Structures are given as C-alpha cells and as structure tokens.
Structure 1
C-alpha cells in the first residue's frame, strides 16, 4: 500500500486527532497502520467514518437539572466541566474533555447569581472556542438583562445589547433562548438566534388541567403581551382580555384598567415572566372584582424574587404555572400553588 493510501478512509481525510487515536490503539507508529487496522478500529469509533462533528452538551452552574433532562432526551452524557471560584471570587472553568471539531452546546440560564453565571457562560464559550470546537451554541433558556432592551430615559443603558455583544465576542456561533421579553433582542446579534416559544406547552397544560377551558378568557397583564395572548386564545378558540397598567417605577403598579369581559368566567393570566409577582397580584384582584369565577396564572420564566412567594401564597390564584427555564424545586416546596410544566427540555431538544 502506498504511503498516502491510509491518509483517507473511504475517501474521508483522517485528521491529526484520528491519527493519534489510531496510533494509541495499535501501539505502533502511524506509518505502519494498515487499511484493515483502520477499518477495524473505525467500527468502534463512528466519528472516523465518516468524519462528522459530534454533539457535546455542557451545563453551567445555573440549571444542572435542565442539562441532565436535555442530555437524557438526546441519549447523551453531559460534558465534563468544572466551574469554581478563586479566593478573590474570579470564575475559573475547566473543560475536562476534548471538544476539537465538535458541535458544542452550553446550557446556562439567566437566573440565580445572574452576573456570576453570565461570566461563567462567557468563559465556557471562549474555552470551547479556543479549544477548536467546530461550533459553539449558547442555550440560554432565560435571557439575562432582557428587560433592559431599549433606552426609555436619558442615559439609560441598553444592557441586553451589551450582553449580546459579549456573547458574540466570547465566540458563540449560535444562540438558543426561550420567550424573549422583547423579540427585538434577536436583532442585537450578528449571529443566528432561535427564540423558542412555550406556547404549545401552555396550550397543552390548559387543555389537560382546566376541564372547562372553553369558558375561559386568556388575559394579558399588559399591552406588551397582547400578541402572545391573542395567539393562545385563537388556538384554543376562546376570548381574550387585556389589562392596561401604568407603572410609576420598577415593580410598582400605579393603576390598572381591564379591557374585556370576564364575568362568571375562568381568567387565565399569561405573561413571559413573573418576578416579584406584583403585577399578577393586582391583576388577580382586578379580575375577581370584575366577576371572574377563578383565576390562573401562567408564565414562561418564574423568577420569583423578593416577596413573590408570599404574594402567591396569599393570592386567589388556583395555580401559578411556570416552565423549567429556571429551577423551581425550592419555590414549589414553599408554595403548593406553583406548578412546573417541565416541557422545556422537550422543546430545547427538538
């Protein structure tokens, strides 16, 4: 066999990593490896024939449970990564397996210690990129700083744009996120962005858990969510309503006006996120005073900071339903009204 005959396998070039692998398995110099050796070894290493990028999924510190769910659905083991802090609180990340030529996905949600988790994500992206990963996709179920998407007053930062720039500079080739607070955030990137929607999971939950949903009204707690609720209402073939709110400052509601009829009907509040739950609390009171028989709340991102849990427990809600873009185990222990749809791993693995 000529010297260059074993540089390819069925017409597919062997890269240096494959040559090293073959050398280690045959315990001989690569120049002595025969074509039969290569065929035999490639049976146990499908990436050699043909040479296709494999998928590797790494999870950050923010939501390890979601990483495991996604990997289980894909039939993969989570990638080996260690994230730790130095004594001065700097973040250190170690990727403990090769990602050369691989299609890497990094799962990190914008929750918990948001700034630390964002920095950890940036470092993980950069570590994989400079380790010769063929592509790095950042899976960010809850996008951090999404509410700072526009300059609504003098000298206000557009922090969502800054985060987009940092992700791109770190080396991300692709972003996957969920129900962005403002869809225009996709335009902040010069790389592909997939904004997935929880709408199918929300509709399925309503159909399964509210038997009389045909007597329900889908309600948006603000004008910005009108498109979201009309889409859900149309698919369920039911009515929708809108609450117009005037906010004096962050997390405080000044007044609310209900547009629509909820008399003797089930009101289902739908929003993209719930933080302190002030909006939900006042909206539920407004709906009941307008004659609603029952009130539910559904949101994609259950942030639940500050007084949120106590507000939920003291509220008239039948249930507050969230997805698992943010870990909810502790919140569900503290409130029996919180329910987790737990379908985002299905959506993310599609």
Structure 2
C-alpha cells in the first residue's frame, strides 16, 4: 500500500540537537525538507509539563524523538504528554524513538519487594497511545517482551565496528575486545566477531552494591590494544578500575566503547584521570559541557542510523539491514571513508 503521508518528527527537550540532526539526515535522504513539528514543551511553575502542537497532525505518521535520560522522570513525562497531545489531535500513527531507554536497568526483581519498573514504564508508553517503539541497545533485550506493541531494538555495534576499523587501521592484529563482566559477553562477542578480534573477560566480584571488591582478567591481554565494550557507563568507577586491571596485566592501551554515556556524578573527572586512552560514546544522551570538554571522551553520531530507521519504518520496510556494519557504511560515508 503506497504511502500518501509524509513522516513527521517532533522532539521533547531531552536531546533536541539529536532530533535536529536526524531531521537534517532525513531531508538529505528524501531530497526534500523534513523539519521538526512546531510545538512547545514547557513546564509550569510547579513543574507540570505542558505541550502545545502548533501544526496540523491529523492523519500524519508521527515520530517522537525523546530519550528518557537524566532527568529521567521529567523526560519520560514529556514523552507521554507529547504522545497524548498527538493522539488527541488525531495523528494516524505514533512511534516513540527512544535512543536511550531509562529504567531499563530495573528489568527484573533483584530481591524481595522490589518493582520491575521497566515493565511499568512500558505499560505507560502503550497506554499513552504510542503504537511502536524504536530504541538502541536496550540494557536487557527481554524488555522488548514487556511491550504489547512492536519494538525495534537497534545496535551500536555496527557503528562501533566502523569506528574501530577506521581508527585502528593497520593495528587490527593487536586489538582485543573485552567484556567488563560475564553478563556482557554476548554484546562484546558481537563486536569481536564483526572486526575479527579475540575476546577477553574481566570477572568482577562485588563486596557490596556499588563497590567492586575484586577483578580478574580471563584471557591474555599482554601487548594488546584492549577495547572494553558495554551498553551504559554511569559513574565510571567499575570502568576505570577495569582499565587499570587490564594495564596491570600488560595491555598496551585501553579504549572503551560504551553506547549510552549517562556519566553522572564524578564520572567525567574519573575518566579524565584514568588509564583509559579514549572513551567512545554515542550521542543518544545529550552530552554536557563537561563531557564535550573532556579530552579523552569522543562522541560518535547515531543520527544517520536513526534517520534511516525512521524512514524504513515509515516506508514499511525492514530495519534489520541496519544491523550490518557493511550496510551502514554508505550511510556514514564521509565519517568512516577509507
């Protein structure tokens, strides 16, 4: 069935620069301007969120771009209120593009009398009238099953693979991918297979929550350029300690590839003083001025991938082609050209 309507993009306040970049990329792909829908997303004096859409969206295919990052509660409410405004304005379909899905770390009951907040959030998203979710590197893939609507979970590994092959060209024989814990082995193995590198694991044992008591490296990292791979870096304590342990075990260099740079509290200061040569994150969370000023933090763009994923969703075509770094290379032409 041919599309008779154009895709329309609307943004909350969580990461407007990413939304604007996605709109520009969509304009390039379509050969016609795709702008952000004119709207205001504001707060009353008591903190209540108010949304007003200034354009006609009746019968339109709407995409809300809004990560639920810090402040998580405010940004989540913005997403829900925008969705309600669009639903009550008779939008034909509403897709939530959530580059960083907050509350994803609360995906199971870790002990008695605790919530499964990721499930609660998914219920709220569905009840708000959202019909599809597009996200990147969910902390736990089973969260897709919490939704009763389609969820497309994209992966940062293809972008990271392009970045590694570009920046380590000529030194790929020395590269080793490292998982910072046993639970992240599948994610690290994915990148290792894409770039043809061996895999190592840092086994950590916690003394108490938030504190790492002991770390052991499984695998020979001597004289290797180690790439730590994970989905979230928050306070960066574990990450920096893992880098130190790798260096103590003879690693030549330590770099980290982390999808979501939460980077709260002392994270930036820790990273700037750490033995890591580089921390590479994506722009799913809008970087603070401190993050942008840190010399050993580098940010890679997700806008080309999200723009293509949105267009594929609008066209009714598969987004699975974006799982392959070879397919992504033309989209990132000029960034990782050989």
Shorter-chain TM range is: 0.7 to 0.9
Q: TM-score scaled to structure 1, two decimals?
A: 0.83
State the structure with more CA Rg: 1
| Residue 331 of structure 1: how far off its partner (Å) | 3.4
CA distance in 1, matches of 2:143, 2:111: 18
Match in the other structure for 2:325:
none
Where does 1:1-350 land on structure 2 (aligned, <5 Å)? Answer: 52-75=4-27, 76-211=34-169, 212-328=171-287, 330-342=289-301, 344-350=302-308
| Residue 89 of structure 1: how far off its partner (Å) | 1.2
Alignment partner of 2:36: what SS? coil
- Would you identify which runs of 4 or more consecutive aligned residues in structure 1 move more than 4 Å? none
CA distance in 2, matches of 1:249, 1:180: 25
Q: CA RMSD in A?
A: 1.3
CA distance in 1, matches of 2:210, 2:168: 30
| Residue 81 of structure 1: how far off its partner (Å) | 1.3
- Relative to structure 1, the CA distance from residue 51 to residue 283 in structure 2 (aligned partners, 3 Å threshold; closer, same or farther) is closer
Q: Is contact 1:150–1:158 with CA below 8 Å preserved after alignment?
A: yes
CA distance in 2, matches of 1:215, 1:282: 22
Q: Is contact 1:63–1:108 with CA below 8 Å preserved after alignment?
A: yes
| Residue 329 of structure 1: how far off its partner (Å) | 5.0
Q: TM-score scaled to structure 2, two decimals?
A: 0.86
Q: Is contact 1:243–1:257 with CA below 8 Å preserved after alignment?
A: yes
| Residue 252 of structure 1: how far off its partner (Å) | 2.2
Unmatched segments (≥5 aa) in structure 1: 1-49
| Residue 304 of structure 1: how far off its partner (Å) | 0.5
Number of aligned residue pairs:
300
CA distance in 2, matches of 1:248, 1:150: 21
| Residue 249 of structure 1: how far off its partner (Å) | 4.1
Highest RCO, 1 vs 2 (Cα 8 Å, sep ≥ 6)? 2
| Residue 169 of structure 1: how far off its partner (Å) | 0.3
Q: Is contact 1:323–1:340 with CA below 8 Å preserved after alignment?
A: yes
Unmatched segments (≥5 aa) in structure 2: 28-33, 309-338
- Relative to structure 1, the CA distance from residue 205 to residue 331 in structure 2 (aligned partners, 3 Å threshold; closer, same or farther) is farther
